[in-house]
Amino acid sequence: MDKTTHFGFKDVDTDDKQGLVRGVFDSVASKYDLMNDVLSFGAHRLWKRYTIASSNVKAGDKVLDIAGGTGDLAIEFRKKVGDSGQVVLSDINAAMLGEGRKNLINNGVFGVEFVQLNAQRIPFADNTFDCVSIAFGLRNVTDKDQALAEMWRILKPGGCLLILEFSKTDSELLKKFYDFYSFNVMPKLGGIIADDEESYQYLAESIRKHPDQETLKSMVLNAGFGFCEYHNLSGGIVALHKGIKT
Amino acid sequence: MQHFVLEQALNYLIDQGNADLSALNGKTLHFALEDLPLNVNFVCTNNRIFVTTDTSIGADVDIKLKSSVFLALLQGEDLTELLRQDKIVIHGDVKTAQLLVDLLQQLDIDLEEALSKYTGDIIAHQVGKLAKNFKTSDNPLEALKNELTTLLVAPSKSSLFKNKGS
């Protein structure tokens, strides 16, 4: 692996990125859901709903939600798999996982397991899950290829990987608005609401450094998935990649 | 987006216990309409169906047909009869194709509505009507000929519209 990697627009030592990302999420954990609602004008709820619908998860399935943070997806997956299934909500960040636990209790959702894990070394056996999801988490992973290989390993044959992530829009007009909003409005709102302008500057930068739709599709296929397709949401600002382990 | 709807509908059928996927498990079926942009793989695995636009990997069965034939098929037209009339091209195991057709025939999707996104309401309705007549007629070719004329604008009528925009 390279000795340096990107942290937003900065080049940092590969070994340091994980700690820096942890710092960001330690800082924003308590305001994470509120900020998502404000920054996306509530659209993140629609993107996640589409992700759940695309999963084809059914009663009795085993689902792992990686970088699951405050548990939005886990709550919906739990409803789908029922008591005969299993949902594991995981995150590398203890503070985010704590928020997830609180959120699930507040929503009256029980029976979800919590695991603090690193997506590059997932502590589950081969062929365990019917579905693995990662929403707005992959861009923060240092070695994405390694993480995708791990996700392929723990999925059962026929299992489905869902990656919901910020991506690239083709619309020049939308791109201009989005760039202005990302670099001028988002950090300011982060400063006002979460008292952390820097973390939301990182958010904007990390989105620009994340692979575009086609590149990520190639990465998913290279990880071993037999099929991969993506759907652009909100004009490509966000994309849902769906890989199937054959 | 149509393939998303198709996927949701098929998996709903499976979830409700109205469709048995066991014979299709592990199979990939490539399905293409020759006259409309529907070109998908049905990946049957883990007791569910994924309908994907990623058709880069070879399929076990390759099915190609026109949209009107597809409509007729969904309305119960016999697959072997369509094969005999060369209205549908199947490469691979016909029995596997038949299983997919059986599954699709259980769907209650308004295909005229889906077609109308590409063709407009009038043509979509005419294609739907054509498919219905095609199924019920003793002489499908005659029905096809009659219905096709309704899809075309007669020369006398087209002259009425010639200078409409000017």
Tell me whether residues A58 and B48 touch, CB distance under 8 A: yes
Q: Which residues of A touch B60 (CB under 8 A)?
A: none
CATH number for A4-244 (one of 3.40.50.150, 3.10.20.30, 3.40.50.300, 2.70.98.20): it is 3.40.50.150
**Distance from chain centroid for Cα B96:** 17
- Which candidate from B7, B11, B45 shows the least CB-CB separation from A246? B45
Tell me whether residues B52 and A244 touch, CB distance under 8 A: yes
- B10 touches A: beta carbon within 8 Å: no
Whole-angstrom distance, CA of residue A100 vs CA of residue A110 = 12
Chain B residue with the nearest C-alpha to that of A245: B45
Q: In degrees to the nearest 10, what's the CA dihedral of A112, A114, A118, A122?
A: -60
Taking the domains of chain B in order of start, what are their residue ranges? 2-111
Q: Which residues of A touch B52 (CB under 8 A)?
A: 227, 229, 242, 244
pLDDT band for A69, please (50, 70, 90 cuts): confident
pLDDT tens digits for A173-207? 998 998 898 888 888 888 888 788 888 888 888 88
Whole-angstrom distance, CA of residue A105 vs CA of residue A101 = 6
Residue B165's pLDDT is 47
Whole-angstrom distance, CA of residue A197 vs CA of residue A189 = 7
Superfamily grouping for domain B2-111: SCP2 sterol-binding domain (3.30.1050.10)
What's the one-letter identity of residue B137? S
pLDDT band for B41, please (50, 70, 90 cuts): very high
Two tokens at B84? Answer: 């005999």
Q: Which residues of B touch A130 (CB under 8 A)?
A: 46
Which of A153-157, A192-196, B58-62 is least confident?
A192-196
pLDDT band for B1, please (50, 70, 90 cuts): low
pLDDT tens digits for B78-135? 888 898 899 999 999 999 999 998 888 877 655 566 556 555 666 666 656 655 555 5
Candidates B21, B54, B60: best to mutate against A (most CBs of A within 10 A) is: B54
Residues 6+ apart with CB under 8 A from B118: B36, B37, B124
pLDDT tens digits for B64-80? 999 889 888 888 888 88
Q: Tell me if B28 sits within 8 A of B55, measured CB to CB.
A: no
Tell me whether residues B48 and A246 touch, CB distance under 8 A: no
Residue A9's pLDDT is 79
Whole-angstrom distance, CA of residue A137 vs CA of residue A74 = 14
Q: Which of B133, B134, B76, B82 is nearest to B105 (CA)?
A: B76
- A134 touches B: beta carbon within 8 Å: no
Q: Tell me if B7 sits within 8 A of B51, measured CB to CB.
A: yes
B166, pLDDT greater than 50:
no
Residue B116's pLDDT is 64
Q: In degrees to the nearest 10, what's the CA dihedral of B66, B71, B75, B76?
A: 10
Q: Which residues of B touch A80 (CB under 8 A)?
A: none
Q: Which of A43, A39, A41 is nearest to A184 (CA)?
A: A39
Residue A130's pLDDT is 97
